[in-house]
Amino acid sequence: MTRNLAAKHSGGIVVYDVNPNTLAAIQKEIPKVQVAKTVEEVAEKSRTVMTMLPASAHVEQVYRQLEKIVGPEHQLADSSTIDPLVAKDVSAMMIAKGALAVDSPVSGGVQGATAGTLSFMVGAPSKEGFESIKPVLQCMGKNIVHCGKNGAGQGAKLCNNMLLGITMIGLSEALYLGKQLGLDPVLLSGIINTSTGRSWSSEVNNPAPGALAGAPVDRAYVGGFVNRLIAKDLGLAMKAAHGVDVHPALGGVASQVYGHLASNEDWGSLDFSSVYKWMEEHNDEGFDGDDNARTVG
């Protein structure tokens, strides 16, 4: 994302990360960026501040730091995937300082981030606010959608990722069943991708070896959108659902499945398509996830 922003944005770019090795790698690859020593320094040197952090607590912490600096000249976009209620709260904190604040989680995976074709789901206080931040997001994404007021972007992201988890599990089960019935998973993947069962998981992130060149399976599922991250997102989705008295049956199962994988030291850091491999190796065991995996956020 930083690479695309640097290539397409005409102004300067200031970056900060808690990991100094990450900062060094960014500066080596993109010499035009300035490296800040603190979060506050980013806001002092920038009009637009973008954040992408692991969880709700991290966003709250960073926004409390930014609260000391921001004013009416600032616009902030948080592209983390967090609790929609937290997104509303931190946005309100910035808006109270006169700044524009939006939640702008992304979808599209590593492939979309590299190609600059990410989808941004934006919760903004107004149409004018959305239009103000949109040009920056267009440097990194292709589909920039105003979903509604603050928090709506996070709601859209959680619905999308709940469906993503469900479809990857469904695809993996179908491919494993086909294999046990004597079908070549590569052949079956081709059939699915030209039939009504096709999905992003089957076409872009297919979990079967040999079905899709360059998919995470080609690197033994290392990296990508890892099981711990989708488990976190599914936990957030279930928490949000229960908050509005919705009880998604399949979402709950997906949260349990990925909660089980995320809690395993060997599987937690593998791409979420590795659920197919898990089925191959542990079909007789089932998933012994617990209710906590459905609500943790």
Domain residue extents for the chain: 2-149, 156-295
* 157 counts as catalytic: yes
pLDDT at 163: 98
Report the relative pairing of strands 141-148 and 118-123 from DSSP bridges. Answer: parallel
pLDDT at 290: 47
For the entire predicted model, the pTM comes to 0.90
Residue type, 225: F
pLDDT at 128: 98
Report the distance separating Cα 247 and Cα 177, nearest Å. 28
* CATH fit for domain 156-295, picks 1.10.1040.10, 3.40.640.10, 1.10.540.10, 1.10.10.10: 1.10.1040.10
HSE-up (13 A, CA, CB side) for residue 292: 4
Angle at 172 between CA 167 and CA 173, to 5 degrees: 100
HSE-up (13 A, CA, CB side) for residue 114: 4
Q: Tens of pLDDT along the chain (297 residues)?
A: 999 998 898 889 999 999 999 999 999 999 989 999 999 999 999 999 999 999 999 999 999 999 999 999 999 999 999 999 999 999 999 999 999 999 999 998 888 899 999 999 999 999 999 999 999 999 999 999 999 999 999 999 999 999 999 999 999 999 999 999 999 999 999 999 999 999 999 999 999 999 999 999 999 999 899 999 999 999 999 999 999 999 999 999 999 999 999 999 999 999 999 999 999 999 877 665 444 444 433
Looking at domain 2-149, what is its CATH homologous superfamily? NAD(P)-binding Rossmann-like Domain (3.40.50.720)
Among 68, 97, 127, 157, the active-site one is 157
Closest CA to 136 of 261, 13, 297, 290: 13
pLDDT at 180: 97
Coil vs helix vs strand at 146:
strand
pLDDT at 287: 64
